[in-house]
Structure 1
């Protein structure tokens, strides 16, 4: 609800079925900067050749930031699955780190190459590609969904042929053989996407304008102020996480269990848990996302689940543990799945229709001679509408070509390697399943990349769920269909996700005059870093927190349960659902489609008052506690905008990024402490007056 390139901006891209939020100010920036020529202000600066855009300092900074952002994305993946766009933070921190580096060298007369916007773009691309693997790698979804811990929540398909526990070696090997295919699949289409079809790629365009602004004198001053704000709130967030740790000596201890609205509301998960991360996420996500989450939380945990729990012993067995999918947990998971599938199917059809219609118009217009730059070096004559900026960007974008044979050879080689390798990692995933997926994958990757360019929507999870159903049903329940479906989902999601990410980065490079070759190399290196760093970071979480993936734990990994539930539905059918659950699933599936249709019918003016089903579905499983945090973030931003809108627009994303980064990086020392067996000294719990009296009596005796 999606991947990092995926950012929801009044309902923007979806990565897997996670929401990925971006700030609302990118488009406004684009509009303001288009009023004047950007490239004329850089006319006096020489554009370095593509080899010089790839510097040691750029990749060193990228590696450091990749580790930081991977911890952040991994923590978000394993808690709620709501991931903010980190493009702005990556670009801003990359600018800050290398600027300090170059200032130091310049002071001692050792600076040989100045810091350019092209190098800044390389850093941003590498960092986002690397941290994106923490999402598309499935550590909080399909990959963890294969484990025995998740499988035990259901009695269906939990045998050995349908489970596979995480291990560092096979996870790294799996990512290396599937993560590069998407990059090669869209490289031959970069000119068609960016130049011929002139797709907007709003997130990539906004990031390009942001990086351009950093490298102007005024923008550099503002960037320093933003970095200073990010640093202040990073420090506060990190120290706040450290302070909270002292009070978490046992289960149900600490500020995260603070019964803000009373014990009854706390029982239904309505409380503020003092998470700086999700306050920051709430500041980045559009107001509509946060309100949709709150509506879903009230509908589920405030109304539906209390009513269904009264049917315990009738609709489901009263003796089942709370996490069993045949009990109340089944309603939470499968109704959320129904809403996610309804929303995903509607938007898949909608975006696919827009893609096909857009392609038809593009081809028709090109045939009538109205398309621009299709030449190899510059725009054709008699096209006065082409601006100076577009003419210069097009010329340099077409200058450093990536040979088509490189893309075809790369795709073929990696496809052959993975076809031979994957059946040894996942035995139920036969080689001919993989061949079929690789035949259709480039088409799906193109559709997703094109749709992202038109709408900024990345329907990665929809393609993943499609693979689960098709390959899972093909394999069958008795032949490891659940494991085969989850593995197929991982293959498809990695291809489609990296394809749309790369085209977004090509657009950013087009805006900053970064060479397509340097963009491609940076993406490849970032992906390689991610294939190693992401599994290692996940392994730290996996070893430090034995209850990882357990409902109600510190890291419940809700998407893992949901993905496995989808796989079970694909191979077992509806027999696994509790009583009346199927009827409720139909209602919410249709409801998601109707709500989306209504949003499109009424138009943007009124759609901003109608909640988004995909966002509503998340708290159905997890509960409202993180929603309260995000609404607090929205409230802070709203008050700030009321008092000083210009300052809020300029510094809001930096403050939010600081809150997210500080709390996210605290997970590294907290994990190390857990691995070392160091436990917090204090347990802070909240009891009712009656229970407190009983405890006092017991202790008095």
Structure 2
């Protein structure tokens, strides 16, 4: 689950703090606003009332080729590796991934600024650091780390493995698997990850200029980058990086300290029964994870509360009640990991909520997309002339200086339509010919049908993301699982065909919305569309190599990866596998009354979302999110407690000093996430080298402790 909306909220919070700091340090700007002179008349920036492009008027905009520097891609490569570890760890634990765009922009600014300062002092600096180059870094890093999510290492791709197939509802399908291999994973990503980029390129002008879609995340990130490159913004950014570095070090060292106490199963601080042993048995405990404390500081309060509510509803009420029906609803001797036992209720009720939430939002965004598209096309037919393109018109007599400047440069470096079409056709042909060799169950005509519909679906996702800031990539992927899986059928490998089709679809629609989002960021920072496209392509290529390598390190280092109750349970692996089995086999394998409960929770997810949209926004923010509630149904609420601790820290900080919390909260959270995420690299290397921790810290009940003492005494 990628929390896309957090990105705009987090970036806007940081941007607001930068603007406030700038006004404090530069009182003249406030006075100038009061005067209402030519600057405010000619163009106003939506966020602070000043023309952004007037501030940068004295700086020449480098050509698109000069925006693509060696140092930008060197920094992007280092940050891509770091972010791949972070996203992979989150993917393989709880599956909640916050936006890291702000961290990418901030760290990119810091590293290149340090680089240029050293060269400047030695007299070797030839090319100054610009906001366009900063945008290139951010785009490249986000494109690369995005592959760690859309690559399916925590979902559809790992769901193909024997490790997940062994937990299947149907013993007959346990032999239908394809184990991960570095070679085919890299090859698969290379043939499916670039298609979405070419599909959306011809539509960039329509999306950004004609329809003026907002893309809240891209807009907020652009404002942040613009702020960094003002003198006052640079000062605050330096302080933010210092805070990030401090908490990065703390988080990394805390992970190192915890490692010493994990010499066996169930050992260490991650198994600390903070709320008592009975609560611990039902997964209610604080596991001292710096990562999820940081995630809790980034995510909106309602997401953290929703996850906790889902954990209380499932592990606090439902599972203990269903467990009392053992022997009636499901076999008394069923294994804890068997899908025919309690585990089946956990997985399929979670799937029902995820599908209910996903389908509701799919039709909601699709409705808004079609409605918005209809109105935009009607407006174009009535005006006949595009106001922005011509500078002015009777319908829009005053176009701001910022819009004129940005549109002029956005239209300057065109990407030929023939290039995009030729690229799409060439990659589609290669992919259609190659994928059936990787997955014999995925026939060439399945792939061809997907690619015929892909441009339309990519456009819908990109357009809907521009309106709502929601990317429905995983929902499109789930639809592909059911459609292609049912088409292939169980006897012709429908499970693997559906999962592979999910990967094809997810990568197309995800990269399409990501690139359009980046075009919006580039439009607002005067970065060329060509440099945005090239940096997205290079970042995607980096991700196609880095992400599989990082996953392979986890896969080889942790032998229990993907097993329930392990350090890395990969919760969405079994969820996606179960969806694929459901698509080809139907409901016959579900435990007793499970289908009825699934229907109820599917309907409940849609009704809750309906209430959120119908009631006033003042009250809607108190209604929980079904998607967030569904996540702990399978893996437990322990990480929700960590996230709520992060929320509590931020809440208290905001009460004490809101300005400082807004400015430094995202940096502190990023430091906690990054430090703990990077610790997984040395811990994986130690595991591969056979270096074991020296101590096992484990907690026992009084009765168990007496038995241990008696055994040792004998």
TM-score bucket of the superposed structures, by smaller chain: over 0.9
Contact 2:293–2:672 (CA under 8 A) maintained in structure 1: yes
Aligned to 1:364: 378
Structure 2 residue 425 is the aligned partner of structure 1 residue 427: no
Aligned to 2:684: 671
Aligned to 1:136: 150
Aligned to 1:330: 344
Offset of residue 451 of structure 1: 0.3
Matches within 5 A, 1:227-242: 227-242=241-256
Q: 1:107 aligns with which of 108, 121, 128?
A: 121
Secondary structure of 2:699 counterpart = coil
Aligned to 1:254: 268
Contact 1:27–1:202 (CA under 8 A) maintained in structure 2: no
Aligned to 1:448: 461
Structure 2 residue 590 is the aligned partner of structure 1 residue 547: no
Structure 2 residue 51 is the aligned partner of structure 1 residue 37: yes
Change in Cα spacing, 1:157 to 1:468, as seen in structure 2 (3 Å) is: farther
Change in Cα spacing, 1:519 to 1:234, as seen in structure 2 (3 Å) is: same
Matches within 5 A, 1:51-130: 51-130=65-144
Offset of residue 162 of structure 1: 2.8
Offset of residue 371 of structure 1: 7.1
Q: C-alpha separation between the residues in 2 aligned to 1:548 and 1:22? A: 32
Offset of residue 8 of structure 1: 3.8
Aligned to 1:318: 332
Q: C-alpha separation between the residues in 1 aligned to 2:697 and 2:369? A: 54
TM-score after normalising by structure 1: 0.96
Offset of residue 33 of structure 1: 2.9
Offset of residue 157 of structure 1: 6.8
Matches within 5 A, 1:160-179: 162-179=176-193
Aligned to 1:575: 588
Structure 2 residue 239 is the aligned partner of structure 1 residue 225: yes
Q: C-alpha separation between the residues in 2 aligned to 1:158 and 1:659? A: 44
Contact 2:392–2:398 (CA under 8 A) maintained in structure 1: no
Matches within 5 A, 1:133-532: 133-156=147-170, 159=173, 162-369=176-383, 372-373=386-387, 375=389, 378=391, 383-532=396-545
Q: C-alpha separation between the residues in 2 aligned to 1:82 and 1:537? A: 18
Q: C-alpha separation between the residues in 1 aligned to 2:16 and 2:595? A: 44
Offset of residue 161 of structure 1: 6.9
Secondary structure of 1:109 counterpart = coil
Offset of residue 592 of structure 1: 0.4
Aligned to 1:16: none
Aligned to 2:610: 597
Q: 1:25 aligns with which of 6, 13, 27?
A: 13
Aligned to 1:562: 575
Q: C-alpha separation between the residues in 2 aligned to 1:7 and 1:87? A: 12
Change in Cα spacing, 1:248 to 1:85, as seen in structure 2 (3 Å) is: same
Offset of residue 23 of structure 1: 6.1
Offset of residue 26 of structure 1: 6.4
Secondary structure of 2:414 counterpart = coil
Secondary structure of 1:402 counterpart = coil
Offset of residue 251 of structure 1: 0.4
Greater CA drift, 24-33 or 363-372? 24-33
Aligned to 2:650: 637
Contact 1:152–1:158 (CA under 8 A) maintained in structure 2: no
Offset of residue 28 of structure 1: 5.4
Secondary structure of 2:415 counterpart = coil
Q: C-alpha separation between the residues in 2 aligned to 1:561 and 1:332? A: 11
Offset of residue 321 of structure 1: 1.5
Aligned to 1:18: none
Contact 1:130–1:526 (CA under 8 A) maintained in structure 2: yes
Secondary structure of 1:250 counterpart = coil
How far does the alpha carbon of each residue in 1:533-575 deviate from its partner, in whole angstroms, 9 at most, with x for none? 0000000000001111101000000011100111111000011
Q: C-alpha separation between the residues in 1 aligned to 2:374 and 2:48? A: 28
Secondary structure of 1:527 counterpart = helix
Q: C-alpha separation between the residues in 2 aligned to 1:591 and 1:295? A: 14
How far does the alpha carbon of each residue in 1:452-508 deviate from its partner, in whole angstroms, 9 at most, with x for none? 000101111110010000000000001100000000000000000000000000000
How far does the alpha carbon of each residue in 1:130-163 deviate from its partner, in whole angstroms, 9 at most, with x for none? 0000000000000000001101102527547731
Secondary structure of 2:586 counterpart = helix
- In structure 1, list runs of 5 or more residues that go unmatched: 13-20
RMSD: 1.6
Offset of residue 2 of structure 1: 2.6
Offset of residue 603 of structure 1: 2.6
Contact 2:301–2:647 (CA under 8 A) maintained in structure 1: yes
Offset of residue 22 of structure 1: 5.0
Q: C-alpha separation between the residues in 1 aligned to 2:708 and 2:395? A: 86
Change in Cα spacing, 1:417 to 1:380, as seen in structure 2 (3 Å) is: farther
Q: C-alpha separation between the residues in 2 aligned to 1:161 and 1:480? A: 11
Aligned to 1:609: 622
Contact 1:26–1:206 (CA under 8 A) maintained in structure 2: no
Aligned to 1:588: 601
Q: C-alpha separation between the residues in 2 aligned to 1:371 and 1:484? A: 47
Offset of residue 230 of structure 1: 0.1
Greater CA drift, 568-577 or 660-669? 568-577
Secondary structure of 2:360 counterpart = helix
Change in Cα spacing, 1:32 to 1:632, as seen in structure 2 (3 Å) is: farther
Aligned to 1:17: none
Q: C-alpha separation between the residues in 2 aligned to 1:362 and 1:50? A: 30
Q: C-alpha separation between the residues in 2 aligned to 1:64 and 1:690? A: 51
Secondary structure of 1:562 counterpart = helix
Contact 2:290–2:672 (CA under 8 A) maintained in structure 1: yes
Offset of residue 425 of structure 1: 0.3
Aligned to 2:39: none
Q: C-alpha separation between the residues in 2 aligned to 1:568 and 1:328? A: 18
Secondary structure of 1:427 counterpart = coil
Aligned to 2:23: none
Contact 1:268–1:623 (CA under 8 A) maintained in structure 2: yes
Contact 2:311–2:633 (CA under 8 A) maintained in structure 1: yes
Q: C-alpha separation between the residues in 1 aligned to 2:668 and 2:385? A: 42
Greater CA drift, 384-393 or 200-209? 384-393
Q: C-alpha separation between the residues in 2 aligned to 1:281 and 1:423? A: 39
The count of residues paired between Structure 1 and Structure 2 equals 688
Secondary structure of 1:575 counterpart = coil
- In structure 2, list runs of 5 or more residues that go unmatched: 20-44
How far does the alpha carbon of each residue in 1:412-451 deviate from its partner, in whole angstroms, 9 at most, with x for none? 0000000000000011000000000000011000000000
Greater CA drift, 186-195 or 382-391? 382-391
Change in Cα spacing, 1:75 to 1:353, as seen in structure 2 (3 Å) is: same
Q: C-alpha separation between the residues in 2 aligned to 1:68 and 1:240? A: 18
Q: C-alpha separation between the residues in 2 aligned to 1:7 and 1:136? A: 17
Contact 1:23–1:284 (CA under 8 A) maintained in structure 2: no
Q: C-alpha separation between the residues in 2 aligned to 1:195 and 1:202? A: 15
